[in-house]
Amino acid sequence: MRDIPAMPTILLWLASCLLLTPGLSLAVSLTEAQRVIPSATAVSPVNGVPGLYRVAGSQGPPVLVFQTDDFVRIPAYSGSPVNLLVGITTQGQFVGVDLLSHQEPILVVGITDQHLKAFVDQLAGKQATDRIRVGASDRAGYVGIDGLSGATITAMVITRTVTLAAERVLTAWTEQAAAQQVQQHTAPTNTATVPEAEPVWHWSWQQHRVKVAVLAAALTILLLVLFLQDWLVKHKLFFQRFRFAWMLFTVIYIGWICHAQLSVVNLLGFARNLAGGFSWDSLLLDPVVFLLWGFVALSILLWGRGVYCGWLCPFGAAQELLSKLSRASGFEGWQIPHAVHERLWAIKYLLLIAICGLALDSMANAARLAEVEPFKTVFVMQFDRPPAYVFYALLLLVITVFNSKFYCKYLCPLGAALSFVTRFKVFDWLRRRVECGHPCQTCAHDCQIGAIKPTGEIIDNECHYCLECQVTYWDDHRCPPVVRKRKRRERRFVSADAVIATDAGGYGGKN
Ligand code: SF4
Ligand code: SF4
């Protein structure tokens, strides 16, 4: 595993390979135009505005048709823009909108075509001059449309792409019409002016401000826990109860309520973003995910990948809770022999390399292979998916009862990506004793991740930073060297007590 290149190298390599095609003027055929304007009988290019076409055959004000890629390219969740076909009157009323192409993982596998069509159909009949926002029904001055369940960010980007492109098209049309009117000495006519709108991420942060505040508070607590770990792990019962409560928080709040399960697809989107010239806008689209990634980047440098995997990953926490419950009921699970266990780690690295390789050619195919992650099924779609996906996710959750965090140890491509960066971590705060592995195997046996070598060293790339071994380190009833110290201390007390008792007896005898 040591010879696999570091993750930053892979990201740069991906970035150089995933260069986005620069915007070219894309023709709109009559057949395509009829997808959004069924009455269209002909299309003709608008002079001086590449990519804009005027449609013949419709009643009322002139109707224009265009592909959004010709006017605006806002990177979406995947890091690539979504291209839509838009029909709009020169008065600014949307006639029809259709999706042409995208790289969005959630739209490739997850959201059905009917859901997608129902979403974009909401724009037809609305005015581009309105401030159209996903979920803004209760916001004064805005026109709200329903979001796409499980794909809120993509829905926001689609809406912003269409409205911003419409703004640019109407401005170009107005300027073109004015120039013609000057030439022909006719009076100025007919077109709408779209108000300048806020960046899509502003709206997203406003909408999610409560979630962001709660998560920020939780991350601050976690930072305190990590800095005070030596003190906390000495209070075994308190620490174990705190950790159990934290796992519940991670599953319920981060996973089920915020849908903030990080994914290997985020890394591909980041690489595409780098390749496309880097934009903070696309990184800021999902504030909860942004905050989590920011924390993960910091915590990896300080403590390694384990802080995410052991504390913040909802699927990791769900597995840990299940295996804790099964152990509490007396079932210890099955350990795979260390030599086999070490070799099985390779699977997740191979999956990561395959996903990155596919992304060079097609994000859609990469997204299909990334379905090895059960995250979308469990937390984003909350099991509202075809039976095969649900069965796979449930199977992984059942397996964890028999072999704790089986998915994390052997299959998770995100875990593999994070462990590459772990080699840059600065601190090493997990304590070991000279007796660890020579001959003591207590922690190695307890570590549910199998991240402690039989020789006693912790394997940073695999460790989930659960701190169980640190609890044992201080436990004077489990850690053999500390047990010996306690017994020696107790023996000294017993002998001292015996001496005192003898002396007291002597005094008593005198009295
Ligand atoms: S290995 Fe994957 S599933 Fe497991 S905790 Fe880490 S990121 Fe989550
Ligand atoms: S028990 Fe120790 S070595 Fe194992 S995952 Fe937890 S912190 Fe890491």
| Residue 315: C-alpha distances to residues 108, 251, 256, 320, 321 (Å) | 22, 7, 10, 9, 10
5 occurs within a structural domain: no
Looking at the structure, do residues 51 and 174 belong to the same domain, yes or no?
yes
Domain count along the chain: 2
Residues 306 and 339 in one domain: yes
How far is ligand 2, taken at its centre, from the CA of residue 369, in Å? 29
What's the pLDDT score for residue 3?
40
Q: Is 346 among the domain residues? A: yes
Q: How far apart are the CA of 406 and the centre of ligand 1, in A?
A: 10
Which of 464, 473, 475, 478 should be mutated for ligand 2, with most atoms under 8 A from CB? 464
The reply to whether 394 falls in a domain is yes
Tell me the pTM: 0.80
CB 126 within 8 A of CB 132: yes
Q: Give the model's pLDDT for residue 138.
A: 64
Is 168 within 8 Å of 196 (Cβ atoms)? Answer: no
The DSSP output letter for 471 is H
- The DSSP secondary structure of 168-193, one letter per residue, reads HHHHHHHHHHHHHHHHHT--------
Residue 378 lies in a domain: yes
Which atom of ligand 2 is nearest to 459's Cα?
3
* Ligand 2 pocket at CB < 6 A: 306, 430, 447, 449, 451-452, 458, 463-469
**For the CA of 452, the nearest ligand:** 2
Confirm if 215 and 260 have CB atoms less than 8 A apart. yes
**Domain encompassing residue 346:** 204-431
| 86 and 58, same domain (yes or no) | yes
Biggest distance spanned by C-alpha atoms of the chain: 131
* 462: in domain: no
Are 301 and 170 within one domain? no
Between the CA of 204 and the centroid of ligand 1 the distance, in Å, is 26
Q: Which pLDDT belongs to residue 17?
A: 45
**Nearest ligand (C-alpha, residue 229):** 2
**C-alpha closest to that of 379 among 106, 160, 145, 175:** 106
With vertex at residue 114, the alpha carbon angle to CA 131 and CA 141, rounded to the nearest 5 degrees, is 10
Q: Output DSSP code: residue 238.
A: H
Q: Same domain, yes or no, for 174 and 289?
A: no
Tell me which ligand sits closest to the C-alpha of residue 352: 1
Task: Pick the atom of ligand 1 nearest to 261's CA.
Answer: 8
Q: Does residue 247 come out as left (phi exceeding 0), alpha (psi in the -120 to 50 range) or beta?
A: alpha
The answer on 208 and 357 residing in a single domain is yes
Q: Within this chain, do residues 215 and 184 fall inside the same structural domain, yes or no?
A: no
Task: Give the residue among 144, 169, 142 at the shortest CA–CA distance from 72.
Answer: 169
Q: Are residues 192 and 212 in the same domain?
A: no
Tell whether 212 and 140 lie within a shared domain.
no
How distant is the alpha carbon of residue 262 from its chain centre? 2
Give the nearest ligand 1 atom to 373 CA.
3
Question: Could you please report the per-residue DSSP string of 109-142?
Answer: TTS-HHHHHHHHHTTTT-BTTS-EEET-TTSTT-
Q: What does the alpha-carbon distance between residue 165 and residue 154 come to, in Å, rounded to a whole number? A: 16
Residue nearest to atom 2 of ligand 2 (CA): 469
Q: Are residues 125 and 224 in the same domain?
A: no
Residue 412 near residue 345, CB atoms below 8 Å: no
Q: Whose CA is nearest to atom 4 of ligand 1?
A: 408
Q: Give SS3 for 143.
A: strand
* Rounded Cα–Cα distance for residues 315 and 452 (Å): 22
Helix/strand number for the chain, H first, E second: 24, 7
pLDDT in tens, the chain (511 residues): 444 444 455 554 454 444 444 445 778 888 888 888 888 888 899 988 889 999 987 777 889 999 999 998 887 877 778 899 999 998 899 999 999 888 777 666 667 777 888 898 999 999 888 888 887 666 667 788 888 777 877 888 899 899 989 989 998 888 887 777 666 666 555 855 555 566 778 878 888 899 999 999 999 999 999 999 999 999 999 999 999 999 999 999 999 999 999 999 888 888 877 877 677 877 888 899 999 999 999 999 899 988 999 999 999 999 999 999 999 988 888 889 989 999 999 999 999 999 999 988 888 888 889 999 999 899 988 898 889 999 999 999 999 999 999 999 999 999 999 998 888 888 888 999 999 998 999 999 999 999 999 999 999 999 999 999 999 999 999 999 999 999 998 888 777 766 666 665 544 333 3
